[in-house]
Each structure stands twice: as structure tokens, then as C-alpha cells.
Amino acid sequence: MITIALPKGALLEDSISIFKRAGLDFSDALKENNRSLTFESNCKRAKALLVRNGDVPVYVSYGQADLGIVGYDVLRESELKVANLLDLGFGGCHMSLAVKKNSKYCKPTDLPANCKVASKFTKTARSYFDELNLPVEIIHLTGSVELGPITGMAEAIVDLVATGKTLKENGLIKIDDLFYSTARLIGNPLSMRLDDYHLRDTILSIESNNALEKIS
């Protein structure tokens, strides 16, 4: 039986649709009063684990799930050893560098050396500034990073931006995009090597259906 890690939150509905088109229906996870964390597919060929988006690469990396769907932002930040199988195309947003609108910073290199940058994605932020050869202090926040510049704790933030509405409402503007993040299908490397075609068939079905949907 295939085990799949499904992400709670914004990616869940599209993730379930992806697997449903491949013949694995976990629609019970969308029921309003659902409290279960595990689900068996309609065909009894697979089960799903309902986990936080940030935990999907962990379950896949440690072999508790054979496949999973996770945002590229989380996948890149986790740095865990998983197979990045498919770009599924949904859940798109930018990982961006933003500052206060009334600041004097118009591009990344305008930021002063050793300034403070707030982010949930500290590894991503560190790698970005290392590539710019700009030394900064990264402040790890788990909540609303927009408060960093607002309170004066940080000159900038590195965070996900979808519509830009939250930035605008808090007086912030983007000055750079690090990368574009979409949902990815990931796999456990050992599961892929030991596969008896069940995983391969599921992956090929998802890839085929996803390509057809893009054409239509």
C-alpha cells in the first residue's frame, strides 16, 4: 500500500484533486467535521497522512510516506533528502525581499551591511544574502514577519508573497524576488528504488493528467 503525505491548509484541496484524478480518492479529508489524520483511498491501494505543510518533507524523507505534496518554499528550506518529482503548478507565490515603502532601499544591495532581516525561512534568506555577499543578521520569526520593519526590529523581511495585499496593507513593498514557489510532488528515494510499479504508475498518471489540464 502506498502512503502519501497530504498538506493541511491552502494546498490540501488541489492536492486531493491531483490524486483523485490518478485514481486515489481521499475526499473524506475535506469534510467539515473531519478530525481524522489518516485516510484510506476508495480503492484501498493507498492511505494518506494529513500533516502540516512544513512536515511533509520530514515524513517523506524518513520513509513514513512514499509520496507527498509540498510547496517548493518549504522543500527548499527543509534541505531534506527527497526526490523532487513533479512541479504541479498550483499554489504559486513568490519568495520575496520586502522593506518599508517609505525607506530609502530600492534594491537588495541598498541594504546596509549587518542590518537585520526577519524571516520564517532563515536558511533561504541566509543563502540569498550569502550569494549577494551582503552580511546581515537573520531574525527568525514564526508569525507575522511584517511586524519586523513596522516595529523597527528589522530593516527588511524575506517571506512568501501571493497577491501583495498583506504587504500593501502594512506599508511594505517588494524590492526583489528570490524565486517562484509552486506545489511539488516529492518521493522517498528508497521507496522509489524498491517500487513494484505502483509508485511509478501513480506518478505517471499524475504527470499525464497535469499535462492535459495545462493544455485545456
The CA distance from 1 to 198, in Å, is 9
Q: Is pLDDT of 149 > 60? A: yes
Residues 58, 122, single domain; the answer is no
**Residue 137 and residue 124 share a domain:** yes
- d(C-alpha 121, C-alpha 116), whole Å: 14
pLDDT computed for residue 210 by the predictor: 79
Domain count, the chain: 2
pTM over 0.85: yes
Looking at residue 56, its pLDDT comes to 97
Dihedral angle sign, alpha carbons of residues 110, 115, 117, 122: positive
| DSSP-assigned letter for residue 102 | T
Q: What is the pLDDT of residue 167?
A: 97
34 and 136 share one domain: no
Residues 171-189, mean pLDDT to the nearest whole number: 97
Percent of the chain with pLDDT over 90: 87
Q: What angle do CA 117, 122, 124 make, to 5 degrees?
A: 105
- The pLDDT value recorded for residue 35 is 84
Q: Do 59 and 36 share a structural domain?
A: yes
Distance CA(205)–CA(216), nearest Å, equals 17
Is it the case that residue 215 has pLDDT exceeding 60?
no
CA distances from 108 to 117, 176, 210 (A): 11, 7, 36
Q: Which domain holds residue 70?
A: 2-91+182-215
Q: Are residue 85 and residue 189 in the same domain, yes or no?
A: yes
Q: In this model, does residue 179 exceed pLDDT 70?
A: yes
